[in-house]
């Protein structure tokens, strides 16, 4: 298809498509003539992925370039591509020197071990969870994360990973992972606060 058709079908404006081509986020079309290129399904899929990374993942263009480079690198195993995406979606957390941090990190590592989870030692999610656990410990909160870990594992295994087609096109798998991670995360957070409202109403007015 021509660029005008690619734009109409994808809903992405032509100047935006040209920008993605210049930045290398979108691969070039087949050269049909000196001034004419042809685009196909792979361009549509890539545009969907880019929009998902920007609008839903809210990733900066530099991170999107890394993700797209990983998606386009045929030599990378799919697991590594998904890892790069997960890590791009995680906030960068710097370890804070001190005993508090070490104790929290030890608690996080032990939790993951006990769960038998396959999570890299250098995964940024470990540092992210360590930061929250360190804060909870300093505040004197009793940090029992096991019920949360069990719920996370159940939802990941039974719902979220079911939406990712690991053997299909990488663009589609990565898009599903981004949408699932971000949107189900937002939905769950709103549901948790609703459950709080409902549960506190029940405790304060047990008769109703």
Site residues (CB under 8 A) for its own copies, limited to 138-177: 139, 141-142, 144-145, 147-149, 151-161, 163-164, 166, 177
CA 73 to chain centre: 19
Residue 203 interacting with its own copies (CB under 8 A): yes
Interface with its own copies (CB under 8 A), residue from 94, 99, 122, 197: 197
Q: Which of 62, 43, 42 is nearest to 4 (CA)?
A: 43
Min dist CB 156 to its own copies, Å, is: 4
Residue 125 interacting with its own copies (CB under 8 A): yes
Question: Of the listed pieces 1-9, 16-24, 27-35, 118-126, which binds its own copies according to CB under 8 A?
Answer: 118-126
Residue list 63-102, contact with its own copies (CB under 8 A): 77-79, 82-83, 86, 89-90
Residues whose CB falls within 8 Å of the CB of residue 86, separated by 6 or more in sequence, listed in order = 125, 177, 181
- Rg of the chain over CA atoms, in angstroms? 22
Extended beta strands in the chain, E state: 30-33, 36-38
Residue closer to its own copies by CB (options 9, 198) is 198
Instruction: DSSP for 103-156, please give it.
Output: HHHHHHHHHHHHHT----TT-HHHHHHHHHHHHHHHTT-----HHHHHHHHHHI
Min dist CB 57 to its own copies, Å, is: 12
Residues whose CB falls within 8 Å of the CB of residue 14, separated by 6 or more in sequence, listed in order = 3, 4, 7
Min dist CB 13 to its own copies, Å, is: 18
Residue 121 interacting with its own copies (CB under 8 A): no
- Pairwise CA distance, residues 129 & 132, whole Å: 5
Cβ atoms of residues 134 and 96 within 8 Å: yes
Interface with its own copies (CB under 8 A), residue from 21, 44, 56, 172: 56
* Greatest Cα pair distance in the chain: 78
Question: Of the listed pieces 24-32, 35-43, 95-103, 120-128, which binds its own copies according to CB under 8 A?
Answer: 120-128
Count the site residues for its own copies by CB under 8 A: 74
Question: Of the listed pieces 15-23, 31-39, 97-105, 200-208, which binds its own copies according to CB under 8 A?
Answer: 200-208
Question: Of the listed pieces 13-21, 59-67, 94-102, 186-194, which binds its own copies according to CB under 8 A?
Answer: 186-194
């Amino acid at each position: 298809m021509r660029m005008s058709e690619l734009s109409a079908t994808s809903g992405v404006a032509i100047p935006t498509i040209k920008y993605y081509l210049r930045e290398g986020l979108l691969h070039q079309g087949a050269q049909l003539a000196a001034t004419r290129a042809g685009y196909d399904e792979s361009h549509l899929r890539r545009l969907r992925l880019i929009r998902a990374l920007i609008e839903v993942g809210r990733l900066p263009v530099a991170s999107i370039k890394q993700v797209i480079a990983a998606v386009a690198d045929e030599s990378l195993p799919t697991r590594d591509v998904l890892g790069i995406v997960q890590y791009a979606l995680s906030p960068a957390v710097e370890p804070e020197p001190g005993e508090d941090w070490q104790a929290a990190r030890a608690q996080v590592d032990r939790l993951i071990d006990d769960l038998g989870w396959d999570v890299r030692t250098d995964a940024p999610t470990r540092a992210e969870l360590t930061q929250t656990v360190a804060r909870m410990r300093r505040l004197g909160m009793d940090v029992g994360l096991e019920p949360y870990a069990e719920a996370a594992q159940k939802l990941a295994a039974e719902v979220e990973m079911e939406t990712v087609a690991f053997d299909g096109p990488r663009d589609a798998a990565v898009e599903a992972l981004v949408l699932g991670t971000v949107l189900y995360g937002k939905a769950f957070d709103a549901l948790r606060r609703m459950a709080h409202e409902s549960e506190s109403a029940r405790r304060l007015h047990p008769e109703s």
